[in-house]
Structure formats: structure tokens, C-alpha cells
Amino acid sequence: MATAGRLCVIKKAGTAIAGLRVNSITWNGAGIDVTDKGDGAFQTFLTDVLATDTLEISGEGIEDGNVLRNLALSTDPADKFMTDLTYEFAADADAADTISGSFILTSYSEGSPYQEANTFTATFVRNGAHTFTAGA
């Protein structure tokens, strides 16, 4: 069954980041190419090994509460490193799937259109391995 996008949230320290309208998650992996002449031109990868495994979380919405703005504009680099970020997938009735781990805030932009509310976009990149917990 489909689930509503509004139920999918990014939380910091257990509290949903205010003002979000869209959040997304992107995983990318790349294998190690071991193609040789014997593979007959078919690309072949080293079994069960990934050269890179990246996970990125991003969000955009209406600025409300300034949590991410304060982190982005802090002059202390340590503020960009977060251990309390979770990504909670949408679940209508059952417990939601969640991702938790260490993330780095790598981009933040904020727009102030004249006749609209302030908007923002932010990107978090996983730092080390994450923990994925399947919901009920």
C-alpha cells in the first residue's frame, strides 16, 4: 500500500526538523571493476565488495525554527557533524523503517522571496556506517 509523503520525516535529536516539505534519500554504490579479456566484453565486478557506498539525505521546506540555519552558519566545524540525525520512512499504522547514524551537513541554502515565506534546502552526507532498522 502506498504511504503519504508527509509521514516521512528527518529528525534531529528525536524531533522532526520544522518546516520540511520534501525530504529525499539517495544511496549510491560502485563496484570494483575486474573485467578482463576472458569476460568477453561484459563488465564484471569483484564479488561482494563495493568500492564506494554513499548515503545522502536532503530536505527542503519553509524556514521555521532556524535549527539548520544555525548549524550551517556556525563557525565551528564540529557543529556540522551530527550523531543524532534519523530518517524516518513513512508508515501509516506500523512502526516506520528508520535510518540513523552520523551525518555531516554539507550544504544549506536559504531563499527569501519577496512575497513568500523563507525557504531552505539542506543536504546531509553519511559519515561512516549507518544503522537501518526495519519497522514492524
Partner 1 sequence: MAVEVDFQTAIYATLIGDTPLMAMVQAVYSKKPQDNDAGSNAAFPYITMRFFYSENDTKSENGHNCLLRLHTWSRTGSDKETKQIQGLLYNLLHKNEPSVTGHTVISLVRESSDVADDDGTTHGVCDYRALIQVN
Q: Please, what is the minimum distance in Å from the beta carbon of residue 118 to partner 1?
A: 9
Q: Does 20 bind partner 1 (CB under 8 A)?
A: yes
Closest to partner 1 by CB, 19 or 101 = 19
Site map for partner 1, 44-83, x if CB under 8 A?
-----------------xx-x-------------------
Closest to partner 1 by CB, 4 or 49 = 4
Distance CA(47)–CA(132), nearest Å, equals: 23
Q: Please, what is the minimum distance in Å from the beta carbon of residue 116 to partner 1?
A: 7
Which residues lie near partner 1 (CB under 8 A)? 6, 8-9, 16-21, 23, 61-62, 64, 115-117
